[in-house]
Amino acid sequence: MNIIQIPAFTDNYFWLMFEDNKKSAVVVDPGDHAPVIKSLKDNNLELTDILITHHHNDHIGGVPELKKVFPKVNIFGPLDSRIPADNIVKDEDIIKLDSLYEEFRVLDVRGHTNSHIAYYFDKKLFCGDTLFSCGCGRLFEGTHNDMHRALTKIKNLPKETMIYCAHEYTLDNIGFAKILDPENSELLNREREVKSILKKGEYTVPSLLANELKINPFLRFDNKNIINSVQKHFNIKISNEAEIFKYTREWKDNEYD
Ligand SMILES: [Zn+2]
C-alpha cells in the first residue's frame, strides 16, 4: 500500500492511501479539498472513502467539496452530530474497504474531543490530534483520565507502530519536553534530527512508537525523571500515572504555549 502525506494549511497533514493495482484511494482527515484533489489527480486516482478522526474543521473542512466531486464517496467517523459521516464506527469495529487490502481497526481515543477515534492497521496508527511526535493534543472536551486512557491504549500497541498524526508540532513539543527531561540523550538526539529534517523542508512525522516511548513526556507518565520533574515543579507528591499525565498537560497548557 502507498501512503501519501499531504501537507495543508500551516502545519496539518492529511494521509492518502492507495494500492498499486487499484485506481481508488482513501483519505484520512481532509481538512481542505484542494490539496487532496491535486494529489488524486497527480496519481490518477478516484476517491472512494474518507476516514474522519474528530470534528475539528481542519480535519473535516474539505468533506463537502470532496463529496461534490466524488458523490459516491463513503464517509466513516464516530457518532457525533458535528461530523458528516454516513458510516458510524466505534471502538474495536473493523472496517473493510474495497480500495485497500488491509482492514482497519477503530480505537476510541477520546480526550482531545469527546468522540475522537483513531484508525489502526498493520502497525500504522492514524490518530488525528490525540498523539503528536513528542506531544499530545490539548483537552478541549475530554478529561485527563480519558486522555490518559487513550494514550495508554496507544502505548500498548506494537512498538514498531508508525504514528501518522495530523500536525507538524514536533520541534515545539521537544522544547517543552526538554524542560521536564533535560538529561534525556534520546530527546536531544531527536532534536538534532528534527532540526536537520525541517531544514531540508521535509517532515518529522510519521514517527515510530518505540522512539516516542523514549522521548514523549505525554507517554512517559511512568518514567521516574518525568515523575520527579512534575512533583518538583508543582511541589506535590503524586501517586498515580493519570495524575502525572494531568499535571504534565497542565504545565504545558498554562506555562509553555
Ligand atoms: Zn483537533
Rounded distance between C-alpha atoms, residue 141 and residue 5, angstroms:
28
Over residues 126-137, the mean pLDDT reads: 98
Question: How far is ligand 1, taken at its centre, from the CA of residue 56, in Å?
Answer: 5
Phi, psi of 40 (to 5 degrees): -65, -45
pLDDT attached to residue 104? 97
Work out the mean pLDDT of the chain and round it to a whole number.
Answer: 97
State the catalytic residue, choosing from 56, 108, 146, 181. Answer: 56
Q: Identify whether 112 is a catalytic site residue.
A: yes
- DSSP label at 167? B
DSSP, residue by residue, 184-227: -HHHHHHHHHHHHHHHTT----SEEHHHHHHH-TTT-TT-HHHH
Phi, psi of 193 (to 5 degrees): -60, -45
Over residues 75-99, the mean pLDDT reads: 97
Question: How far is ligand 1, taken at its centre, from the CA of residue 129, in Å?
Answer: 5
Q: What is the chain's Cα-based Rg?
A: 18
pLDDT in tens, 225-239: 999 999 999 999 998
pLDDT attached to residue 158? 98
- DSSP label at 92? T
pLDDT higher than threshold 80 for residue 142:
yes
Question: How far is ligand 1, taken at its centre, from the CA of residue 183, in Å?
Answer: 31
Question: How far is ligand 1, taken at its centre, from the CA of residue 138, in Å?
Answer: 8
Beta-carbon contacts of 228 under 8 Å, excluding residues fewer than 6 positions away, are none
Buried b / exposed e over 205-235, threshold 16 CB at 10 Å, is bbbebebbebbbbbbbbebeebbebbeeeee
Buried b / exposed e over 34-55, threshold 16 CB at 10 Å, is ebbbebbeeeebebbbbbbbbb
Over residues 211-238, the mean pLDDT reads: 97
Beta-carbon contacts of 121 under 8 Å, excluding residues fewer than 6 positions away, are 102, 103, 104, 105
Question: How far is ligand 1, taken at its centre, from the CA of residue 14, in Å?
Answer: 13
pLDDT higher than threshold 80 for residue 257:
no
Question: How far is ligand 1, taken at its centre, from the CA of residue 213, in Å?
Answer: 22
Contact 173, 134 (CB under 8 A): yes
pLDDT higher than threshold 80 for residue 188:
yes
State the catalytic residue, choosing from 29, 32, 49, 129. Answer: 129
pLDDT higher than threshold 90 for residue 46:
yes
Question: How far is ligand 1, taken at its centre, from the CA of residue 54, in Å?
Answer: 7
Q: Identify whether 33 is a catalytic site residue.
A: no
pLDDT attached to residue 85? 97
Examine residue 182 and say whether the peptide bond preceding it is cis (omega within 30 degrees of 0). Answer: no
β-partners of residue 96 are: 103
Over residues 242-252, the mean pLDDT reads: 98
Rounded distance between C-alpha atoms, residue 78 and residue 106, angstroms:
9
State the catalytic residue, choosing from 32, 33, 49, 59. Answer: 59
At 57, the pLDDT band (50, 70, 90 cuts) reads very high
State the catalytic residue, choosing from 55, 112, 116, 148. Answer: 112
Per the listing, cell 464517509 goes with 75
Question: How far is ligand 1, taken at its centre, from the CA of residue 48, in Å?
Answer: 24
State the catalytic residue, choosing from 58, 108, 146, 181. Answer: 58
Please count the helices (runs of H) and the strands (runs of E) in the chain: 9, 14
At 27, the pLDDT band (50, 70, 90 cuts) reads very high
Rounded distance between C-alpha atoms, residue 152 and residue 159, angstroms:
13
pLDDT attached to residue 51? 98
Q: Identify whether 59 is a catalytic site residue.
A: yes
pLDDT attached to residue 256? 87
